[in-house]
Amino acid sequence: MTVLTAACLKVWDRPVRAGLPVSANQGLVGTLGALARDRSDGTMLVLGTSHVLCPSGSTGAAIWQPGPCDQKDCDCNRVGFAWREQCGLVVSDGHKYFLDCAVARLDDDVPWDPMVAGQRIKGMGYASRGMRVWKVGAGSGETAGVVIEDRHEERALFHDGYRTVPNQLLIQSLHGAENPFSVIGDSGALMFDEDGRAIGLLWGASPSGYALACPIKPVFDALAIDLEMSG
């Protein structure tokens, strides 16, 4: 349900679900990738990228859907607060990966829906070259693509300069350059294989224009989460 408040004239969507726009106080809008649970205590979380949910690298800041209310001191659009993040290199199963990922803790009074584009998530999968994938992003909606590299490495530009990002997924649109797989605002979208298994977390784009995503298992392990698959 989309809600419009008369006082604030601000539109938001409830229940929160994958594909919706989210932002932190700095205002950079990204995508809510999925609902997840903390492995230690089952806390309900929402998955996204560090550069959207924790742009300063710190946790605790409010998370909004889609953004802060225009009215002073109004928190009508708040859905939670930044809980845990990882932006940098990690080692997982003996391999080095670059991750840009974060979770926010969902406020208790915020309704949620674990479905993605009307489908139930089928767990976690692994990407391979030639695999067809799809995602739902706040910027471009539902799009389809193909993994053209599953161990991609390049130099990516960040706010503090260039970094080497190893072991990334490189995704090309199935519908040509005029219909890209991802656009601005899609960061944080979860990618799925054709069987509905999560295989990557979208966070950026390569200079070639293809989408870049982190393989999903290192993301889940770094954040100590599992996807919420029930409703």
Q: Rounded distance, CA 80 to CA 108, Å?
A: 8
> Residue 189: which CATH number?
2.40.10.10
Q: What are phi and psi of 6, to 5 degrees?
A: -65, -35
Q: Is the pLDDT of residue 4 over 60?
A: no
Both 91 and 149 in a single domain? Answer: no
Q: Is the pLDDT of residue 3 over 60?
A: no
Nearest to 135, CA basis, from 34, 6, 51: 34
Residues 59-79 pLDDT 10s: 999 999 999 888 888 898 999
DSSP 8-class letter at 43: -
81 torsion bin: left (phi>0), alpha (psi -120 to 50), beta (else): beta
Higher-confidence position of 9 and 49: 49
| Residue 3 domain-assigned (yes or no) | no
Q: Please tell me the predicted confidence (pLDDT) of residue 2.
A: 61
Both 156 and 73 in a single domain? Answer: no
User: What are residue 86's DSSP bridge partners?
Assistant: 101
| Residue 146 domain-assigned (yes or no) | yes
Q: Which amino acid is at 107?
A: D
Residues 147-200 pLDDT 10s: 999 999 998 877 778 889 999 999 999 988 789 999 999 999 999 999 999 999
Q: What is the pTM of this model?
A: 0.94
What mean pLDDT comes out for the span 121-143? 97
Which of these ranges, 81-95, 106-120, 158-172, has the smallest mean pLDDT? 158-172
Domain of 148 in residue numbering reads as 132-216
Q: Is the pLDDT of residue 38 over 80?
A: yes
Both 18 and 63 in a single domain? Answer: yes
| Residue 6 domain-assigned (yes or no) | no
Q: Please tell me the predicted confidence (pLDDT) of residue 35.
A: 98
Both 110 and 139 in a single domain? Answer: no
Residues 31 and 48 sit within 8 Å (Cβ to Cβ): yes
| Residue 44 domain-assigned (yes or no) | yes
Both 17 and 80 in a single domain? Answer: yes
Q: What are phi and psi of 222, to 5 degrees?
A: -65, -35
Band (1; pLDDT cuts 50, 70, 90): low
Number of CB atoms found within 10 A of residue 162's CB: 10
Q: Please tell me the predicted confidence (pLDDT) of residue 204.
A: 93
Both 47 and 92 in a single domain? Answer: yes
**Average pLDDT over the chain, rounded to whole?**
92
Both 96 and 147 in a single domain? Answer: no
Both 140 and 73 in a single domain? Answer: no
Q: Please tell me the predicted confidence (pLDDT) of residue 230.
A: 74
* Percentage of the chain modeled with pLDDT above 70: 95
3-class DSSP state of 219: helix
Residues 93-106 pLDDT 10s: 999 999 999 999 99
Residues 111 and 131 sit within 8 Å (Cβ to Cβ): no
User: How many separate domains does the chain show?
Assistant: 2
| Residue 166 domain-assigned (yes or no) | yes
Both 94 and 44 in a single domain? Answer: yes
Q: Which amino acid is at 1?
A: M
Q: Which two tokens stand for residue 204?
A: 């950026």
